């Protein structure tokens, strides 16, 4: 029972870290995607390189670079902030790829019709292409967000007191046994259910209207 | 700059030792995990309901639990029941379980992508259910699953870095211990990151090229 | 609110929009579209070889010809969806030379002057039908939401679809979608309407309802360029027919004359082939 309350104390941290790093990353990803599609060859190459690098180095390594690497002798960030930054960067790279795939799924005729109507580039994106892109990106974004929820456990290694941190603390005190792990696993699965449900609900609502 | 290169030169062998451990753990996890994934994929499609439900639960728990928690379970959790695994064995057990759960979904999707007509043709020429699977469905389904399986293998290689948490002397642990000995975290962590990138970036590019090639062939 | 599904015949009887009256239509005899020596290339492939023709205000021109002849490319050059590589297009007094960059302002004016209807409708699937017709009025013409929606309802009534205003395009048949697309293109009060094979994606009976709307539009005095495979429309509704093949204009003339008595052997062959189907 005492173990359960300790585990529960990690839940707010896990949720907060998932939410903040996803939102920040989804926003940064939009910019990164724009760079990947920019007309400047240099910007395009830089963005492509950044996406590859961010996705090729494991999350632990990024978090350690930010927390210990920058922290030791440069700027010492609180562990939560360091974890959020690192995970947001990784999210940005993945979301940029998801947006890019979704953009190519929006029919070219949509842009052409918007041009023919004289809509400015900003309104073409804001009113016509953007909403359709988000609709297509939604399922992949939800899958990624569920993956991110599990990846936040890495933050426990730099001292964020999330669910994985509490599990580890309990496990080190040998009396806990294996039950605590099963509960932790179920807890993570339970936390992922709202994300999946939200994505399905939004998807159904949009699909009912658009029916494509 | 040259000073950093010198530092890197000094510690590169240590990190390469760690990289070798990471690669070994990756290979062992895949060698155990992918066959497990195949078994789970077939079990999820099995006729027997208890078998199907058991496989489904195993897959959902394996996919829903963070790999880090799986590692803590095989290393600390099992030890508390009296089954003490070395950090190497615990790492392979956890990552193989994770691989089994994820690859079962990949393989299942591959099998389901084989056109219905193929099974029907196999039935029509009198194949048993086993022969159908062995000679017709599996060869085609597994081929479809190859690119995503390779993509997943890259992720498993990356997640060996989590074994830092159970004191396995892989790449990440080595980098961290060099950092704490020399108090120079930044350069050594960057070198570790570069080593991961040096393997994962070419691998990613190769996999996406393979995907494009297969895409063109199947269209 | 006008509920008749059919456009009223006679020039501009539906009442010109304020914007339109101010624009001042060009002199009846002056060409409103002039295309000179137009060249379009895709790499080494030449899609248009020095095309030239003119269009007077109120005229309806049908462009016909085998597929791959450059008809759609030509149409798309008129509103600069494709940038020509050479030659010149003058639309309502505005010159667009090929191979040059054009200012945003010039392109904005061009696209308000020219409306376009696509083969695949290209309605915005995530917007209601009303919003499809009102969005450009708000964003481009700066009209208030209410004015834009009033005008949109008026146009939807003109194409006989006022009752669909609150629905999404996916709920409509292809013929209905194309009529909505026509209303959308009319919303900015264009002087010229471009139609890129507007009935090619439709079943014949659905094509008829679209052709009926187009015929009424032509009779109301709209200047139109129509790329089409509908030979009856070309013959009976358009004033002139332009025949293209291999990126060149091979023949042009008054519709009835040309369709009944084509001069070139290439046109005869083409007409023979399509009428045989």
Query: What phi and psi values does residue B165 have, to the nearest 5 degrees?
Result: -70, -20
The pLDDT value recorded for residue C7 is 47
Residue ranges in chain C modelled with pLDDT below 70: 1-29, 277
Strand, coil or helix: what is C48? strand
Helix or strand holding residue C53 (H, E): strand C45-56
Is the pLDDT confidence value at B110 over 90? yes
d(CA C227, CA C75): 8
The pLDDT value recorded for residue C3 is 40
Helix or strand holding residue C87 (H, E): strand C86-91
The pLDDT value recorded for residue A174 is 60
Cβ separation C136–A132 shorter than 8 A: no
| Backbone region of residue C121 per phi and psi (left: phi > 0; alpha: psi in -120 to 50; beta: other values) | left
Strand, coil or helix: what is C37? strand
d(CA A39, CA C95): 27
Confidence of residue B132 (pLDDT cuts 50, 70, 90): confident
The pLDDT value recorded for residue B81 is 83
Q: From the CA of B204, how many Å to the nearest CA of chain A? A: 8
CATH code of residue B28: 1.10.3720.10
Cβ separation A178–B78 shorter than 8 A: yes
Mutation to test the C interface, candidates A110, A112, A118, A124, most C Cβ within 10 Å: A118
Q: Are B118 and B136 in contact (CB under 8 A)?
A: yes
Is the pLDDT confidence value at B14 over 80? yes
Cβ separation B200–A57 shorter than 8 A: yes
User: Is C118 at the interface with chain A, CB within 8 A?
Assistant: yes
The pLDDT value recorded for residue C176 is 95
Q: Are B90 and B71 in contact (CB under 8 A)?
A: yes
Residues of A whose CB is below 8 A from C123: 113
Q: Are B56 and B87 in contact (CB under 8 A)?
A: no
Task: Select from 1.10.3720.10, 2.30.30.100, 3.30.70.3270, 2.60.40.10 the CATH code of A14-160.
Answer: 1.10.3720.10
| Mean pLDDT per 10-residue section of chain A, whose length is 212 residues | 85 96 96 93 95 95 91 82 96 96 93 94 93 91 95 95 91 74 92 90 77 50
Strand partners, C253: C241
The pLDDT value recorded for residue C61 is 96
User: Is A54 at the interface with chain B, CB within 8 A?
Assistant: no
CA separation, residue A201 to residues A105, A136, C156, C171, C174 (Å): 21, 14, 32, 21, 29
Q: Which residue has the tokens 């010198």?
A: B6
The pLDDT value recorded for residue B183 is 86
Please tell me which of the candidates A69, A172, A185 has its beta carbon nearest to residue B186: A69
Strand partners, C248: C245
The pLDDT value recorded for residue C156 is 96
The pLDDT value recorded for residue B46 is 87
Give the nearest chain B residue to A53 (CA atoms): B197
The token duo for A13 is 């941290």
Query: What phi and psi values does residue C241 have, to the nearest 5 degrees?
Result: -125, 135
d(CA A83, CA A156): 9
CA angle A193, A153, B70 (to 5 degrees): 85
d(CA A76, CA B88): 33
The token duo for C256 is 């009835």
Helices B49-64 and B87-112 meet at what angle, rounded to 10?
Answer: 120
Is the pLDDT confidence value at B217 over 80? no
Nearest to C29 by CA among C66, C67, C60, C57: C57
d(CA B74, CA B97): 10
ipTM of this complex = 0.89
d(CA C11, CA C44): 45
CA separation, residue C4 to residues B56, C110, C117 (Å): 60, 31, 22
The token duo for B129 is 């259910």
Give the nearest chain A residue to C107 (CA atoms): A118
Strand partners, C39: C86
| DSSP symbol at C77 | H
Mean of pLDDT over chain B: 91
- How many separate domains does chain B show? 1
d(CA C83, CA C88): 11
Give the nearest chain A residue to C184 (CA atoms): A117
Nearest to C182 by CA among B125, A116, B76: A116
* Percentage of the residues of chain B whose pLDDT score is greater than 90: 67
Helix or strand holding residue C245 (H, E): strand C240-245
Cβ separation A116–C171 shorter than 8 A: no
The residues, ordered by sequence, that sit 6+ positions from B81 with a Cβ below 8 Å of its Cβ are A177, A178
Strand partners, C243: C64, C251
The residues, ordered by sequence, that sit 6+ positions from C46 with a Cβ below 8 Å of its Cβ are C39, C40, C247
């Amino acid at each position: 029972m005492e173990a359960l309350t300790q585990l529960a104390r990690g839940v707010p941290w896990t949720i907060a870290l998932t939410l903040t790093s996803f939102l920040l990353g989804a926003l940064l990803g939009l910019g990164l995607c724009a760079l990947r599609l920019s007309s400047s060859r240099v910007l395009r190459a830089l963005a492509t390189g950044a996406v590859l690098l961010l996705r090729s180095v494991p999350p632990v390594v990024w978090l350690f670079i930010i927390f210990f690497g920058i922290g030791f002798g440069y700027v010492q960030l609180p562990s939560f902030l360091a974890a959020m930054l690192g995970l947001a960067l990784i999210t940005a790279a993945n979301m940029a790829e998801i947006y890019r795939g979704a953009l190519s799924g929006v029919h070219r005729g949509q842009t052409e019709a918007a041009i023919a109507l004289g809509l400015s580039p900003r309104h073409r994106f804001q009113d016509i292409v953007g909403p359709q892109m988000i609709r297509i990106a939604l399922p992949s974004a939800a899958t990624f967000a569920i993956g991110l929820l599990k990846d936040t456990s890495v933050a426990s290694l730099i001292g964020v007191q999330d669910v994985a941190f509490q599990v580890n603390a309990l496990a080190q005190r040998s009396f806990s046994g294996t039950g605590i792990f099963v509960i932790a696993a179920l807890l993570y699965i339970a936390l992922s259910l709202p994300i999946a449900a939200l994505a399905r609900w939004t998807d159904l609502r949009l699909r009912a209207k658009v029916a494509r | 700059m040259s000073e950093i290169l010198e530092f890197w030169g000094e510690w590169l062998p240590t990190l390469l030792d760690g990289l070798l451990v990471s690669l070994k753990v990756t290979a062992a996890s895949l060698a155990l995990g992918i066959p497990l994934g195949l078994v789970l994929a077939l079990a999820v499609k099995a006729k027997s309901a208890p078998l199907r439900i058991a496989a489904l639960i195993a897959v959902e728990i394996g996919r829903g639990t963070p790999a880090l928690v799986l590692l803590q379970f095989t290393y600390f959790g099992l030890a508390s029941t009296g089954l003490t695994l070395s950090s190497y064995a615990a790492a392979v057990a956890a990552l193989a379980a994770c691989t089994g759960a994820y690859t079962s979904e990949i393989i299942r999707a591959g099998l389901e992508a084989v056109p219905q007509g193929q099974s029907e043709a196999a039935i029509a020429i009198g194949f048993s259910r086993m022969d159908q699977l062995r000679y017709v469905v599996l060869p085609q389904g597994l081929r479809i699953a190859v690119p995503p399986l390779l993509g997943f293998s890259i992720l498993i290689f990356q997640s060996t870095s989590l074994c830092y948490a159970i004191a396995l002397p892989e790449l990440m642990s080595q980098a961290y211990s060099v950092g704490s000995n020399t108090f120079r975290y930044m350069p050594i962590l960057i070198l570790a990151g570069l080593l991961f990138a040096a393997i994962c970036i070419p691998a990613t590019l190769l996999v996406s090229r393979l995907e494009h090639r297969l895409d063109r062939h199947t269209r | 609110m006008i509920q008749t599904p059919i456009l009223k015949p006679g020039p501009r009887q539906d009442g010109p929009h304020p914007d339109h009256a101010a624009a001042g239509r060009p002199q009846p005899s002056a060409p409103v579209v002039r295309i000179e020596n137009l060249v379009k290339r895709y790499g080494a492939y030449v899609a248009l070889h020095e095309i030239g023709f003119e269009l007077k205000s109120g005229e309806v021109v049908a462009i016909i010809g085998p597929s791959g002849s450059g008809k759609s490319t030509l149409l798309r050059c008129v509103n600069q969806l494709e940038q020509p590589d050479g030659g010149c297009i003058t639309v309502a007094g505005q010159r667009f030379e090929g191979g040059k960059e054009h200012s945003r302002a010039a392109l904005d004016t061009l696209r308000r002057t020219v409306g376009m209807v696509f083969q695949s409708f290209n309605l915005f699937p995530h917007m209601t039908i009303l919003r499809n017709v009102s969005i450009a009025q708000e964003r481009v013409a700066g009209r208030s939401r209410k004015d834009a929606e009033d005008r949109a309802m008026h146009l939807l009534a003109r194409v006989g679809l006022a009752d669909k205003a609150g629905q999404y395009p996916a709920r409509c048949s292809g013929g209905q979608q194309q009529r909505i697309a026509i209303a959308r293109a009319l919303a900015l009060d264009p002087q010229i309407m471009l139609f890129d094979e507007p009935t090619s994606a439709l079943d014949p009976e659905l094509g008829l309802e679209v052709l009926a709307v187009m015929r009424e539009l032509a009779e109301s005095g709209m200047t139109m360029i129509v790329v089409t495979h509908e030979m009856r429309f070309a013959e009976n509704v358009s004033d002139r027919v332009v025949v293209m093949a291999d990126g060149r204009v091979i023949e042009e003339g008054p519709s009835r004359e040309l369709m009944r008595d084509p001069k070139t052997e290439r046109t005869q062959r083409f007409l023979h082939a399509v009428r045989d189907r």
